[in-house]
Structure 1
Amino acid sequence: MNFLNGMTLLLVYQLVGEITVRLLVLPIPGPVLGMVMLFLTLMIRGNTPEPLQNASTALLSHLSLLFVPAGVGMMAHFGRIADEWVPITLALFFSTVITMVATAGIMQVTSRWFARPEHEGGQRDE
């Protein structure tokens, strides 16, 4: 029953995200908005409820199965991928570089926000 409650909670957040996106005509996927809402809820709560913990652990243990449809799609469209390998490779390369640079920049900014103030003599408070 615990697992079922956690799955229900995950699906409710997905549904709320879908409804919100469709009502407000937002250019993001509904499940992504639902995930952001769930994240904010968990941040406000400060902890994860046990049913949600159980459901998410069970889903993550079978995460590799979620890649099967993507692999089948790659094989079904292999000819098209082979024909357009240069733009695909360039898009993957540049998006990876941009993501790494953005992640590094965000990490630098947030590490400055959360850095502890230094005391006299250059010693940090520990």
Structure 2
Amino acid sequence: MLHALATLFAFQLLGEFLVRATGLPLPGALIGTLLLLLGLLFYRRLPRQLEDTASVLLQNMMLLFIPIIAGVMLEFDHLRREWLPFVLACVAGAVITFIATALTFRFFLQRQRAKENEHASETGQEAA
């Protein structure tokens, strides 16, 4: 688990370094995550340690949001003055996420059905 955490932090640090070195207008954590994705695509598999660590982090994700929520509460006066853009950004972000998730799910569901139909036609069975 320690090795996997070190890997995650190393990619985040690399992303932060690249953002500061190039002046990209993106969060370093996002660049680090994209670099991790590229590394995993190149490696062609997800190491078991990394999968286990990510699973534990996802199960306890609510704990990771506590500092963010505390930070938002520190900026409450600012949010009170500019609540409309904040609410619109939250709603738009939720809608975009919902649509992207639905389209991705539909794509993979159709892909799975096509594979099942292809397999059924190869074996001479009828698709359900």
TM range (shorter): 0.5 to 0.7
Q: Deviations over 1:87-123 (max 9, x none)?
A: 332333344445555x38x75xx77xx696xxxxxxx
Aligned in 2, Cα 1:78/1:53: closer, same or farther, shift over 3 Å?
A: same
Q: Which amino acid aligns with 2:42?
A: I
Q: Which amino acid aligns with 1:66?
A: L
Higher relative contact order (CA 8 A, sep 6+): 1
Aligned position for 2:58? 60
1:70 is aligned to 2:68: yes
Percent identity (aligned)? 32
* CA distance in structure 2 between the aligned counterparts of 1:24 and 1:10, rounded to whole angstroms: 21
- Helix, strand or coil for the counterpart of 1:26? coil
Aligned in 2, Cα 1:58/1:80: closer, same or farther, shift over 3 Å?
A: same
> Could you tell me how far 1:84 is from its partner in structure 2?
3.3
Q: Which amino acid aligns with 1:18?
A: E
> Could you tell me how far 1:57 is from its partner in structure 2?
2.0
1:125 is aligned to 2:118: yes
After the TM superposition, which segments of 4 or more aligned residues of structure 1 sit over 2 Å from their partners? 70-101
Aligned position for 2:41? 43
| Structure 1: 5+ residue stretches without partners | 117-123
* CA distance in structure 2 between the aligned counterparts of 1:23 and 1:80, rounded to whole angstroms: 30
1:13 is aligned to 2:11: yes
- Helix, strand or coil for the counterpart of 1:89? helix
Task: Give the number of aligned pairs.
Answer: 118
